[in-house]
Structure 1
Amino acid sequence: MGLTKKIVLAMIAGIAVGLLFNFLNTSQILGEGVTGFINNYLTNGLFDIVGKIFIASLKLMVVPLVLVSLICGACALSEGSRVGVLAGKTLLLYLVTTAIAISLALLLALVIQPGAGMEGMATGATFEPKPAPPLSEMLVNIFPTNPVDAMAKGNMLQIIVFALLMGYAISRSGKPGQRIAGFFNDLNEVIMRMVSVLMVFAPYGVFALLANKIAQLGLDAILQLLKYFLVVLGALLLHAFGVYPLLLKLLSGLNPVKLLKKMRPAMVFAFSTASSAATIPVTLSTVEKRLGVDNKVASFTIPLGATINMDGTAIMQGVATVFISQLYGIEIGLMGYLTVILTATLASIGTAGVPGVGLIMLAMVLQQVGLPLEGIAIVMGVDRLLDMVRTAVNITGDAVVSAIVAKSEGALHLDTFNDDTYHSVMDNGQERGRSAIS
C-alpha cells in the first residue's frame, strides 16, 4: 500500500475515533471513570503528544528546506532579471486568486444569506482582537536585519528575501560561487531525503491529530452554525474544484484533473495539519516530483504561497462579513463589499507574518466597513474545522500558480506532469522518477 492511501485511511480512522470519543464524552454512557481515562490518557494524552511531536518534526524541516531550496532555485536562474519577472508573475497570480476567492464568497453569502433569522446569536458575544501593526511597519519587516534571527523565528518572508539575495550573489561569483552552489545542491538532496524519512510516520501523526481535534470539537459546533458552515465549505470547494482548474486551463493549457489527482497527498496532509507552513515540505516535494515544476520555480512559489496566498482565509472573511452584517442587521452596501474585497486582498500580503493572521485580517475587514468585532466570537466555534479545509485549498492554489508560472517560464517538465504512472518519493520512499526531473 502506498503512503497516500495509508494517510487517507489514517485520516478516516482519526475522524471516526474522534467522533466516537466525543460521543462517549458527551453521553457519559460508560461512566466518568472510562470517560476520564479517554480524555486524560488518550485524547489529551497519547493523541495530543503524538500529534504535537509530528507537527514539531514537520516545522523542523520548514526553515532549512525553504532556505536551501530557494538558494538553489535562485542560483539556477541564468539571468538576474528573471528573479523579478518570476516574482511579479507569482505575486500577481496570488493577488488575483485571492480577489476572486473573496468575490465568490461574498456572492454566495449574499444569495444564500446564512445569517438571516439568527439575530439572537449576537447577544452577549465578545471578542478582543490582537492589534494589527501599521502597513508601513509590515512592509519594512519583510526585509531582514538579521537572517539568523529570521530563521530562528521562522519569518518566511524575511527568509525568502535573504535566500534570493544569497542565490543571486552565488550565481554571480564565478568559480567560488559554483563550489558553494554545489554544496547547497547536495544539501538540498539530503534535506529532501529527511523529508521522505519523516513521511513514513505521517499516517500515525495524521491519525493522532484528527482524533484529538474531532474528539474535542464534535458536531455540536457545526450544527449551531450549520448554514454558515455549509456556505463557507461550499465556497471553498467551488474555488478549489472550479476556479483553480479554470485558471489552470485558460492560462497554461494544462489538464486540471491530472493536477488535482497528483496533489491529493498534499491536500490530505494539509487538511490533517491545518497549517500551510507545516505542509511546505510535502507540497514542495509533490509539486516538483509529481507535477514536474522545476526547483527554480517551485522553491520560490511554494514558500511564498504558504506565506501570503490566503484564498481560503479570504473566503472565510467574505462569508463571515455577510453573516455578521445580517446577524446585527447592518447593511454595508455595494461600496462596503468593494472595500471588503480590496482590504482582504491587500491584507493577505500585509499581515502574512502576524500570528493569528486569519482573525486579525477578519478584524481589519470588519473595522473597515463598520461591523462589530464581537461577531468574530460567534464564528470561532466552527473556524477550527473550516481551517482544515481552507488549508487544503490554499496549498492547491499554490500548486496551480506554480504550474502556471513554470509553464510560462519553460520550467515545467511536461513528461512528468502527464505521466499517470509517476510516483513521488512520498509514496514508496524510493527515488523513482528522478530522471524525469533531471
Structure 2
Amino acid sequence: MTALQSLFRPVFNLGLIPQIAIGIALGILLAVISPGSAQSVSLLGQLFVSALMAVAPILVFILVAAAIAGHRQGQPTHIKGVLILYVIGTLVAALVAVIASFAFPTTLTLDMPEAGGNPPGGIAEILSNLLLNAVANPVTALMEANFIAILAWAIGLGLMLRHASETTRGALNDLSSAISGIVRIVIRFAPLGIFGLVANTLAESGMGALLEYGHLLAVIVGCMVFVALVTNPLIVYWKTRRNPYPLVFTCLRGSAITAFFTRSSAANIPVNMELCKRLKLDPDTYAISIPLGATINMAGAAITISVATLAAANTLGISVDFGTALLLCVVSALAACGVSGVAGGSLLLIPMAASLFGISIDVAMQVVAIGFVISVVQDSTETALNSSTDALFTAAACRAAEGKQS
C-alpha cells in the first residue's frame, strides 16, 4: 500500500484538471489498444454521471433556496446582468449559425427510414410546457430532475424563508454546506469517470459513422468553436472591458471538458458550482445563475437547430431569404430555452423550427435521425459550449459589477 501511495502521489498532488487530462489520455489509449477492455470500464463513467445526476436536483433546490433565504435587502446580486448575457449569447450564437449556413450550405441525403419522436408543435407549446413544468409537484420534480419546477419551488421557498428565524436560516445554510461537501467528493472522482466515459465512447462508436455527415458536423462544430473563442469573448469584453481570454480558457478547462463527456448540462451543474467557487464569485449570484443557465442558456442548441433546419431547407431546394433566416434565429433561441439538460435534447426541436419553411414532419424527423448519428460529437460539443458559457457569463457579470463598485 505504501509503495502504491508513493507511486501515485505525484498524480494525487496534481490539480483536478490535469488529473482529468490524464484520464482522457488513458481512456483514448485503452480504447485503441484494447476496445474490449475499454467497454468493461464503462461502469466508471456510468457511476460518475449517475452520481452527478443524482446530486444535481437536490443541490439546486437547497442552494437556490438557501441563497434567497439568506439574502438581505440592499445586498448586491448580479442576476440581471447574467440574464442579459444569456439572452445576448444565445441570439448571437443563432445568428452565427445562420451566417455559417449561408456561407457553407449543407445538403443531406434524406433516404433514411422515418425516425420516431415527439417533437413540440410550436413556440406556444414550448412555453405552455415550461409553465406546466414550473408548477409540477416538487417531490416529482426532484425525482425526475425537472429543473424548471425545482427552480420555481426553490425560489418560492427561499422567498418565504427570508422572514424565518435566524436558527431556521442557519439550519438551511448548514444543509447547503453539507450538500456542497457531497458534491466535492463526487467531483474528486471526475478523472476516473472521464476515463471510463472516453474509453467506452471511442471503443463503441469510433468516428467511422461520422464520415458521411462530415460537412454538417463541421459546420455545427465550427460554429460552436467560433462562438466559444470569438463571440463569447467579445461579449465578455463588452461587459467587463478587460482581456476576456484568461477567463474564457479557465471556464473551458474547468467546465467544458467535463461537460463534453457527460453530455448533460444538468449533470455539469455541480462542476460549474465548484468552478464559480474557485473563481471567488458571489455565491448568491451563481447559486441561482448556474442552474438557471443549465435550463435556459443554450447557445449550442440554438446552433444545432439553426444549422440542421437550414440544411433541410437547402436539401429540398427551399429559398430562404436573410429576413426569414433572422426570424429563424429568434425561433431557435426561444426553442433552445426549452431544451432539457439531458443528452440529445436539442434534436427533437428541429421539426418545430423546420415548420417555419413548411418542411413536413417526415422530412424533419429524418434530419433528427441524422443528428443522432453525429451526436457523439455534436451533442458533446454543444453541451460543452452551453455549460462553460453558464460559468463564463456568470463570472463576467460578477466581475463587471465588482469593477463598477471599486
TM-score (norm 2): 0.87
| Percentage identity across paired residues of the two chains | 26
CA contact (8 A) 2:38 2:199 kept: yes
* Distance in 2 between residues matched to 1:62 and 1:391, nearest whole Å: 16
User: Paired residue for 2:161, among 161, 170, 179?
Assistant: 170
User: Paired residue for 2:276, among 284, 287, 297?
Assistant: 287
User: Paired residue for 2:311, among 323, 328, 332?
Assistant: 323
> Is residue 63 from structure 1 mapped to residue 51 from structure 2 by the alignment?
no
Matched position secondary structure for 1:278: coil
Q: Name the structure 2 match of 1:151.
A: 142
CA pair 223-241 structure 1, distance change in 2 beyond 3 A: same
> Is residue 267 from structure 1 mapped to residue 256 from structure 2 by the alignment?
yes
| 1:204-219 aligned within 5 A | 204-219=192-207
Q: Name the structure 2 match of 1:14.
A: 27
Q: Letter of the 2:51 partner, please give it.
A: S
CA contact (8 A) 2:64 2:158 kept: yes
* Distance in 1 between residues matched to 2:55 and 2:404, nearest whole Å: 25
* Distance in 2 between residues matched to 1:143 and 1:218, nearest whole Å: 39
CA contact (8 A) 2:263 2:342 kept: no
| 1:95-244 aligned within 5 A | 95-115=87-107, 121-132=109-120, 134-135=125-126, 137-173=128-164, 176=165, 178-244=166-232
1:80: how far off? 8.8
CA pair 6-123 structure 1, distance change in 2 beyond 3 A: same
1:130: how far off? 0.9
1:181: how far off? 1.6
Matched position secondary structure for 2:134: coil
* Distance in 2 between residues matched to 1:355 and 1:3, nearest whole Å: 24
Partner deviation per Cα, 1:33-65 (whole Å, 9 max, x = no partner): xxxxx2xxx455x23322211111111210121
Q: Letter of the 1:392 partner, please give it.
A: A
CA contact (8 A) 1:19 1:218 kept: no
CA contact (8 A) 1:18 1:218 kept: no
User: Paired residue for 1:379, among 371, 377, 400?
Assistant: 371
CA pair 193-319 structure 1, distance change in 2 beyond 3 A: same
* Distance in 1 between residues matched to 2:273 and 2:162, nearest whole Å: 22
> Is residue 48 from structure 1 mapped to residue 39 from structure 2 by the alignment?
no
CA pair 21-130 structure 1, distance change in 2 beyond 3 A: farther
Runs of 4+ in structure 1 off by over 6 angstroms are 80-83, 411-414
CA pair 388-355 structure 1, distance change in 2 beyond 3 A: closer
> Is residue 79 from structure 1 mapped to residue 70 from structure 2 by the alignment?
no
* Distance in 2 between residues matched to 1:344 and 1:360, nearest whole Å: 12
* Distance in 2 between residues matched to 1:307 and 1:240, nearest whole Å: 19
* Distance in 2 between residues matched to 1:136 and 1:321, nearest whole Å: 20
Q: Letter of the 2:48 partner, please give it.
A: F
> Is residue 333 from structure 1 mapped to residue 324 from structure 2 by the alignment?
no
* Distance in 1 between residues matched to 2:263 and 2:138, nearest whole Å: 27
Identify unmatched segments of 5+ residues in structure 2: 1-13
CA contact (8 A) 1:236 1:389 kept: yes
CA contact (8 A) 1:157 1:353 kept: no
1:206: how far off? 0.4
CA contact (8 A) 1:292 1:413 kept: no
> Is residue 304 from structure 1 mapped to residue 292 from structure 2 by the alignment?
yes
Partner deviation per Cα, 1:293-347 (whole Å, 9 max, x = no partner): 1110001110011111111111112221222222232223334312311211111
Q: Letter of the 1:63 partner, please give it.
A: P
1:123: how far off? 2.5
Partner deviation per Cα, 1:109-149 (whole Å, 9 max, x = no partner): 2112232xxx5x22244223313272453242243352222
* Distance in 2 between residues matched to 1:67 and 1:80, nearest whole Å: 24
Matched position secondary structure for 1:292: coil
1:400: how far off? 2.2
* Distance in 1 between residues matched to 2:378 and 2:324, nearest whole Å: 25
Identify unmatched segments of 5+ residues in structure 1: 23-37, 415-438
CA pair 308-80 structure 1, distance change in 2 beyond 3 A: farther
CA contact (8 A) 1:125 1:375 kept: no
CA contact (8 A) 1:294 1:413 kept: no
Q: RMSD of the alignment, in Å?
A: 2.6
* Distance in 2 between residues matched to 1:393 and 1:386, nearest whole Å: 11
TM-score (norm 1): 0.81
CA pair 261-339 structure 1, distance change in 2 beyond 3 A: closer
CA contact (8 A) 1:406 1:412 kept: no
CA contact (8 A) 1:18 1:215 kept: yes
Q: Name the structure 1 match of 2:16.
A: 3
Q: Letter of the 1:94 partner, please give it.
A: Y
CA pair 313-139 structure 1, distance change in 2 beyond 3 A: closer
